[in-house]
Structure 1
Amino acid sequence: MKDITSQYQNADGTSAPLNTRSGFVAIVGKPNVGKSTLLNSLMGVKIAPTSPRPQTTRKGVRGIASTDETQLVFVDTPGVHRPKDALGKYMNGEVQNALSDVDAVIWVVDLRHPPADEDSMVARSIRDLRAPLTVVGNKLDVAKYPEEALRLYTALLEGRTGETASVMLSAQNDVTKVAALRESLAANLPENPFFFPRGAASDQSREQWAAEILREEAMKKLRDELPYAVATRVTDWTERPDGLQRIEAEIVVDRQSHKGMVIGAGGKQLGAIGAAARKQLEVFLNAKVFLGVQVVVIPGWREDTEALRELGYE
């Protein structure tokens, strides 16, 4: 996972003492517990898509938070679940990849509910890790019995020998607690050169980021199981001399019958998805955006490894 882009050296080529700390922090948990919301709060800027639907995150998304002396590389991961198709297997694989070489782990749990089978799956995957672990009990503001719930989650880690801490918060609202968590993680980073340029906020390309914004809005507006049969990609991005960002994108579905559902009567559904995504893009880009969206059909793309690769799931 780690790829140091620059080393510290003396003028004669010998190694210089490090004066910076950096490392990777994986954020794991079952679907819909607030992992992406926590990442965005830790970053102070939107990096990962969020929606009320589970499994919004499909890829490991890196958020990069740097100060003069520290660099935290947060890796948001898909929710751990029992996969039903090749896409689901890819998503679970992303979690294992993220855990393979990290300096710390955040396990996000939902304090509104006791642990479920998927939480036990997560606990088994992290119990034997040597990296320091922080159990983040999320949604504190709406939980009735948060202390009891947190005890049940931490009990799943019985036998763990690595350093373990816990905190309860609301990832969406507890600015002070989120900041304290970030500072605690930064204080315990190992000595390393920075892995990414100091001003970077994410390792996503602008096209990948915009595609995820579009998919987020599609997931919010489409009903039933249809959101999980949807992928998105940006096919062209042009900046005009007047500053207008012209973006062409596709919403990909796996059945012909789904195409009409995404478009909607008179194109209203597609128009609403595109308008909502365009508003988000204009806010974050601080520029006028033209967003052209088409719906295309790739039959059975969630089970087609070549199609998954073309759509960026590789």
Structure 2
Amino acid sequence: MSTETEFRSGFVCFVGRPNTGKSTLTNALVGSKIAITSSRPQTTRHTIRGIVHRPHAQLILVDTPGLHRPRTLLGQRLNDLVRDTYSEVDAIGLCIPADEKIGPGDRWILEQVRQMAPKTKLIGIVTKIDKVSREKVAEQLVALSKLLGPETDVIPVSAASGEQVEMLVDLLAKSMDEGPAFYPDGEITDEPEETLMAELIREAALEGLGDELPHSLAVVIEEVIEREGRTEKQGEMLDVHALLYVERPSQKGIVIGKGGARLREVGTKARTQIEKLLGTRIFLELHVKVAKDWQRDPKQLGRLGF
């Protein structure tokens, strides 16, 4: 049997500064929305595993929060989560956007990766290549190659247009050991549905908000109940009750909006995404609560799932 057809499987983690396209890339490879994407930095909270199925390979993508210099207990816990992940995966993809010069933040992350996972295979990924000219992409590839050294593969991709995505799958698959699939065909994540629902609500709530909110917002799914008394024609419907926690009363006002308009908008947006995820109709009820300074309080962090 030639090595070309041998099945390979393993774990992959994308790293990079906040907002370098890691979550979008995860979603593009999996072919479904499982990682929240947002233009606000530091929005990914949970390690979400996306599963990429191909005839010759299975890649399990671990989506971590961006590594950063922590200022709160939450920040510290997020960083610990990242450290654990780095040391357990088979390959790490360092994401550098095509439309921004390589800077101190990128170098710092590379340094952390090399310290924490010196033996893990590293691949350089130039993301967002649909945003710049071919010349700019070539320049960035050269710069990244210089940063990583000649023995490290670099590859340009666009998660938005899908360009080079399959080339990246092949390159990652080559870094894996031969071995069986970890998950059955058709499964795209091993995260509980509640976690994904909470993340989609959080994404909808963060959209269009200023800088003061991203870290201060946590979402907890209180309950998911199947609605009784529905006819076959009406089909199944789930009632989903979720709580959005903020740290200050002023933030509560921002999330709710004038006359509750903002919260209604969040509900509509999140409901559409959750219905796609679950493949069933839902009624979504959202409430906003203040949990004072929860990011610095170990008890509250535990209660909110961190």
Q: How does 1:117-156 map to 2 (within 5 A)?
A: 117-127=104-114, 129-144=118-133, 145-156=136-147
> Are 1:177 and 2:164 counterparts?
yes
Query: For 1:50, which of 37, 42, 48 is the aligned residue?
Result: 37
Q: Closer, same or farther in 2 for the Cα pair 1:305/1:196, shift >3 Å?
A: farther
Q: In structure 1, what residue type is equivalent to 2:127? A: N
> Are 1:104 and 2:91 counterparts?
yes
**Would you say the 8 A contact 2:11–2:90 is kept in 1?**
yes
For 1:119 and 1:48, locate their aligned partners in 2 and report how far apart those are by CA, in whole Å: 22
> Are 1:33 and 2:34 counterparts?
no
Shift of 1:188: 3.8
Q: State TM-score, norm by structure 1.
A: 0.86
**Would you say the 8 A contact 2:9–2:180 is kept in 1?**
yes
Query: Identity of counterpart residues, as a percentage?
Result: 39
Give the equivalent residue in structure 2 for 1:276: 269
For 2:182 and 2:12, locate their aligned partners in 1 and report how far apart those are by CA, in whole Å: 13
**Would you say the 8 A contact 1:65–1:71 is kept in 2?**
yes
Structure 1 residue runs of 5 or longer lacking an equivalent are 1-18
For 1:153 and 1:283, locate their aligned partners in 2 and report how far apart those are by CA, in whole Å: 37
> What does the per-residue CA deviation read over 1:244-274, in whole Å, with 9 as the maximum and x for residues that have no partner?
1210001100112221221111111111111
SS of residue in 2 equivalent to 1:127: helix
Give the equivalent residue in structure 2 for 1:221: 208
Q: In structure 1, what residue type is equivalent to 2:120? A: A
**Would you say the 8 A contact 1:282–1:288 is kept in 2?**
yes
Q: State TM-score, norm by structure 2.
A: 0.88
Number of aligned positions between the proteins: 291
For 2:131 and 2:56, locate their aligned partners in 1 and report how far apart those are by CA, in whole Å: 36
> What does the per-residue CA deviation read over 1:155-181, in whole Å, with 9 as the maximum and x for residues that have no partner?
3334x8xx52111121111x2510121
SS of residue in 1 equivalent to 2:177: coil
Q: How does 1:295-310 map to 2 (within 5 A)?
A: 295-310=288-303
Shift of 1:282: 1.9
**Would you say the 8 A contact 1:218–1:227 is kept in 2?**
no
Q: Closer, same or farther in 2 for the Cα pair 1:154/1:67, shift >3 Å?
A: closer
Give the equivalent residue in structure 1 for 2:238: 245
**Would you say the 8 A contact 1:80–1:118 is kept in 2?**
no
Shift of 1:20: 4.7
> Are 1:168 and 2:156 counterparts?
yes
**Would you say the 8 A contact 1:24–1:102 is kept in 2?**
yes
**Would you say the 8 A contact 1:229–1:253 is kept in 2?**
yes
Q: In structure 1, what residue type is equivalent to 2:274? A: L
Q: In structure 2, what residue type is equivalent to 1:311? A: L
**Would you say the 8 A contact 2:157–2:168 is kept in 1?**
no
Q: In structure 2, what residue type is equivalent to 1:148? A: E
For 2:293 and 2:113, locate their aligned partners in 1 and report how far apart those are by CA, in whole Å: 33
Comparing 269-278 with 75-84, greater Cα deviation is found at: 75-84
SS of residue in 2 equivalent to 1:66: strand
Give the equivalent residue in structure 1 for 2:233: none
Shift of 1:307: 1.5
For 1:86 and 1:117, locate their aligned partners in 2 and report how far apart those are by CA, in whole Å: 24
Give the equivalent residue in structure 2 for 1:6: none
Q: In structure 2, what residue type is equivalent to 1:291? A: L
Shift of 1:68: 5.7
> What does the per-residue CA deviation read over 1:23-58, in whole Å, with 9 as the maximum and x for residues that have no partner?
111111110000000000000111101111111212
Structure 2 residue runs of 5 or longer lacking an equivalent are 1-5, 231-235
